[in-house]
Structure 1
């Protein structure tokens, strides 16, 4: 259960975070070095294959850096959104919870509003803020 869902105690309230898929930067480097160490000396790797793998290595590194920057932008957006919510009225998607936002908690994967009646609501799809 992620941080935002733990605030409400409802795992269905927000989608789970992205799963780690594929090979990360360190694993790719280890695979490349192992391949170079274990290649047949009588039939060394073709230079074009080596250059292709180095290009792939560069793409993996660049993707990791891009993802890190996107995460920073997302966190900054959450912080900016959080400040603008205090004092406004929030209504849950089902209309069962309504109240004035007194406090906002920011997590890596979203924000949760604490209302004047003590209720905690994940700010996400279907929530009305006025």
Structure 2
């Protein structure tokens, strides 16, 4: 009988399937696209002066481009994920040791299976 040990980013043998990582990056991009759309909708509810400088209008329109690009990248990564051989893997410690955002690490690491689902349903607001 073997005992499961928790995965650690310090274990050199800890590997991560490339397909699963790509899929989770796609899901993260999709979530960011939805967030960007919510920001865009919120900004449209704010009463702005009738005549905004052209530069500000262009920058606000950039939010739409960001939303669309994130959505397209999400689709692309999920498609690439489906075509990636299961033998392709990455070193978990090499990948995640370079990231600083704990929430992002949790969302991308398959060891945290419920992180993506929980994020959208918890309703918690955090101010930066």
TM-score (norm 1): 0.38
Which of the two has higher C-alpha Rg? 1
Greater per-residue helix proportion = 2
Greater per-residue strand proportion = 1
- Compare relative contact order (CA 8 Å, sep 6+) and give the higher one, 1 or 2: 2
